[in-house]
Amino acid sequence: MAMEFTQALLAAQSPDTQTRTAAEASLKQFQEQNLPQFLLSLSVELSNEQKPPESRRLAGIILKNSLDAKDSARKEYLTQQWVSVDPSIKFQIKESLLRTLGSSAAEARHTSSQVIAKVASIEIPRKEWQDLIGKLLGNVTQTFAPGFLKQATLEALGYVCEEVAPQDLEQDQVNAILTAVVQGMTSAEPNSDVRLAAIRALYNALDFAQQNFENQVERNFIMKVVCETAVSKESAEIRQAAFECLVAIASIYYDYLEPYMQTLFNLTAEAVRGDEEQVALQAIEFWSTLAEEEMERQDDCVALDELNSPVLHFHFIDKALESLVPMLLETLLKQEEDQDQDDTVWNLSMAGGTCLGLVSKTVGDKVVPLVMPFVERNIAKADWHSREAATFAFGSILEGPSVEKLSPLARSGFEFLLSAMKDQNSHVRDTTAWTLGRVFELVHRPASGDPIVNEKNLPGIMTVLLESIRDVPNVAEKVCGALYFLAQGYEDAGPASKALTPYYESIIAALLSTADRVDVSNVRLRASAYETLNEVVRCSYAPETLNTTAQLLQEIIRRVIQTVELQVVSSDDKEKQSDLQALLCGVLQVIIQKLGSSEGKSVILQAADQMMMVFLRVFGCRSSTVHEEAMLAIGALAYVTGADFAKYMSEFYRFLEMGLTNFEEYQVCSISVGVVGDICRALDDKILPYCDGIMTILLKDLSNAMLNRSVKPPIFSCFGDIALAIGEKFDKYLIYAAPMMQSASEMCMHLDTTDDDMVEYINQLRRGIFEAYSGMLQGFKNSNSEIMIPYARSLVQFIEAVFKDNSSDDLVTKAAVAALGDVADALGGGIKVLLANSSFYNELLSECLLSEDYTLKETAEWAHTLIQHALQS
């Protein structure tokens, strides 16, 4: 077998398909027939110095993939599979992995350290393989151990720390790891590969070092070694890794940072000014991280104010500001040619500007006087680097400082920015357009008394923007962004939003032709153009833009039809078609909502047939799934058409079903469930003919373990929507739906409430269940309310359980109180039995009656009155 096994591993990498397939099959067969032996063979192959590197490599990969997977269900399966392997075989596998760390083949060592970490991630939380850390440390602390063994072992230690959670290691193990790692970093270690591996291991071990950082002596030592490593002369890689550690320390151990800040400032400043770019970037990253950390702490301080916040906040950014800002400004001058046309570039000027933006968000107004002299000094210089840097600096500080502080600057800078849109350098134009967008986004307040964009300068602005949108694609994209924010500023600005009306048609025309540009190599410009179009339509002053929007509607419909008629050959074509349809359906949705809620409703009604036809054709472009954006737009359309939507149902139903059954693409399923609710409200009992089908699918979805859980709460809400729409006719579904609601209610009581995501999910589920009950109770109220009697008790119990569980949020409480009122409303005196011997409902109601939330209070009053009446009847 041994030789055959090697052959199979080699053949599985053969370029010849037939050979490869056969080899893969035989490996699979081996795996299925005897998994433990298969795993053992893999580890033996990996550790055998006599074997060819190719077979060892593949053996390592297969072994790794037998232990871990991205998909959490698969990972759980693999974990169980490993756990059930015979301990003696596991022992042999682990021994050969450890042995491989000393292999002379670098690749085998590397793979082995990864696999060791995967095994550790399964076993260490289970308190197994407890001697692993000791064995690894033994390798490192041997005085005469070869460098490559130390290097691989440190790498393994790092990976183990990455895989295992801090609580799974004992403190003395942590201490030993840190000692070994820090030892490996010092200049006493002659081998620079070992030092690099050590510093990278430290990076992963930092999470475990809480106690060590609390201790001043240990902390001082760790910081000293890291700082020394950050200026080590050997290699940029080592210094970079040291700075990465400092970045991590800035966010994990912020609380202990104060004594080191002067040193750290000097270190980072030297790196930014003099070291190689990869090191300098990390030094800037240190300040970006610190700024983010301080912003977060500012928020926490505000949020925790009343509790006498224990959050430490040293205002490092603020204190370093006068030296930090000039350092960042210098980096802005280090642009590369054409960096804005290449998405993969990340250099000093980009990192510096981004950091300046974060600093500005952290300190606000204070940054302005430190940056403006630089802007003024450089903005008109002959060298484009200076002009671009000045503009970028200005654009970067627009978020954070107050509008009052920025308004005069923006006002006086407008003219200049507009003229810079004609700069001969495209990089300058790109940055200028982006800066204009930021001004519109952050400083433009049309409803204020003295808006920076006014009737005097708006014509000039529009002329420039409409001209520059024809510039090279990357500039055009930024111009779209500028138009986007300019329009968005007029949202809810009342009559002030009339200001854009005179340009409405030309903006639309410009955006449509931008979307049509053929010189677009990246798809982003087209998407930006359509998204900007949406914003312009959404924020326009409806009474004046109605006709133009109606024309746009026709144009978009025409464009969708074009996409349907496109020749689609390759999968690439298909994807392009689908993306374009998504953008266009998005525009249709925006237009439907804009016109449908105003006097333009008749326009939508007139075009409804056309639009439905278009949506159905879009659906027709795919075989197995439906288009999300088209589905969303249909939901919006149903609200406008109301009961008239019935005429589309016979054709649309097929696609609705397709969406509802698509549990692999759960977003599609989720959107479709929502649309069922929309249609219920539009059609009322005219939805009846489709309910058998819909209910069957929804019930199946609920019990489908593969369906993403986030879809399940909306399905319950949807039950309520259907029950409300069809009233007593819901009776035949009740016996299927109600048990689902009951078991989901029970499950809510037994889920883990320590995990925030889970709590959020439980609350969504609770709301969904209550909405289902409410819909059914109200649906049956007038005709056949007795049918709900058998289920009322478990509802009341559920309400009680939710009330007593303090993880429920206000929305859940409101839904619970409403459902309580609905029981009383529907069953009247019938609730006496249910509420006998219980008093929780009085507590619940009186708690809600004291609430500051007006709607909750109102709901509680309503429920209270109904219950009182029911109890007295």
Of residues 10-69, which lie at the interface with another protein (CB under 8 A)?
Answer: none
Report CA torsion sign: 631, 632, 637, 643. positive
Amino acid at 195: R
> In this structure, how many other beta carbons lie within 10 angstroms of the beta carbon of residue 421?
19
Residue 92 token pair = 């042999």
Query: Which residue reads 């088209």 in tokens?
Result: 630
Please identify which residue in 537, 822, 844, 856 interacts with another protein, judged by CB under 8 A.
822
Shortest distance in whole angstroms from residue 5 CB to another protein: 33
- Residue closer to another protein, measured from CB, 184 or 768: 768
Residue 865 CB, shortest distance to another protein, in Å, is 5
Tell me how many helices (H) and strands (E) the chain has. Answer: 41, 0
Q: On the CB side of 98, how many CA atoms lie within 13 Å of its CA?
A: 18
Which positions from 473 through 502 interact with another protein, judged by CB under 8 A? 477-478, 481, 484
Query: Does 677 engage in binding with another protein (CB under 8 A)?
Result: yes
CA distances to 190, 202, 566, 630, 723 from 183, in Å: 11, 11, 65, 61, 70
673: contact with another protein by CB under 8 A: no
Asked if 660 and 706 touch (Cβ cutoff 8 Å), the reply is no
Distances (CA, A) of 620 to 617, 658, 670: 5, 11, 20
Tokens of 756: 């925030």
Query: Of residues 36, 849, 851, 853, which one binds another protein by CB under 8 A?
Result: 849
* Using rule CB under 8 A, residue 864 touches another protein: yes
Contacts for 719 with CB less than 8 Å, ≥ 6 apart = 698, 733, 737, 741, 772, 775, 776
- What mask of x and - would describe binding to another protein in positions 439 to 478, judged by CB under 8 A? --------------------------------------xx
- State the nearest-atom distance from the C-beta of 836 to another protein, in Å: 19
Angle between helices 789-804 and 840-849 (to 10 degrees): 60
Closest approach, Cβ 530 to another protein, in A, equals 8
Candidate list 66, 96, 534, 545; residue touching another protein; CB under 8 A: 534
Query: What residues between 605 and 664 interact with another protein by CB under 8 A?
Result: 629, 632, 635-636, 639
Residues between 564 and 603 with contacts to another protein, criterion CB under 8 A: 582-583, 586, 589-590, 593
> What sign results for the dihedral spanned by CA atoms 34, 40, 43, 47?
negative
The DSSP symbol for 400 reads S
Quote the tokens at residue 718: 């949807």
Residue 207 or 644 having the CB closest to another protein: 207
Work out whether 125 is an interface residue with another protein (CB under 8 A).
yes
Q: How far is CA 112 from CA 103, 155, 163, 833, in A?
A: 10, 10, 15, 68
Tell me the residue type at 39: L
Would you say 603 or 724 has its CB closer to another protein? 724
Minimal distance, residue 151 CB to another protein, in Å:
24
- Collapsed DSSP state (helix, strand, coil) of residue 387: helix
Pick the stretch among 20-28, 93-101, 305-313, 353-361 that binds another protein (CB under 8 A): 353-361
Sign of the torsion formed by the C-alpha atoms of 387, 393, 395 and 401: negative
The strand ranges marked E within 175-276 are none
521 binds another protein (CB under 8 A): no
Integer Cα distance of 778 and 824 in angstroms: 10
Closer by beta carbon to another protein, 25 or else 747: 747
Q: How far is CA 812 from CA 81, 336, 512, 758, 825, in A?
A: 40, 54, 45, 15, 19
- Contact set for another protein, span 144-183 (CB under 8 A): 165, 168
Smallest distance from another protein to CB 681, Å: 5
In a 13 Å sphere around the CA of 40, the CA atoms on its Cβ side amount to 14
Window contacting another protein (CB under 8 A); options: 35-43, 101-109, 345-353, 615-623: 345-353
Burial 325-337 (b: 16+ CB within 10 A, else e): bebbbbbbbbbee
By CB under 8 A, the residues from 386 to 415 that bind another protein are 395
Would you say 655 or 773 has its CB closer to another protein? 773
**Residue 709 binds another protein (CB under 8 A):** yes
Q: Which of 712, 716, 798, 848 binds another protein (CB under 8 A)?
A: 712
Q: Is 768 in the site for another protein (CB under 8 A)?
A: no
Nearer to another protein, 202 or 636 (CB): 636
Contact 42/59 with Cβ under 8 angstroms?
A: yes
Q: Is 380 in the site for another protein (CB under 8 A)?
A: no
The footprint of another protein on residues 285-314 (CB under 8 A) is: 285, 288-289, 292
Instruction: Identify which of residues 287 and 541 has a Cβ nearer to another protein in the complex.
Output: 287
Q: For another protein, which residue of 221, 314, 761, 840 counts as binding (CB under 8 A)?
A: 761
Residue 288 CB, shortest distance to another protein, in Å, is 7
How many amino acids of this chain bind another protein (CB under 8 A)? 88
Check binding of 207 to another protein (CB under 8 A).
yes
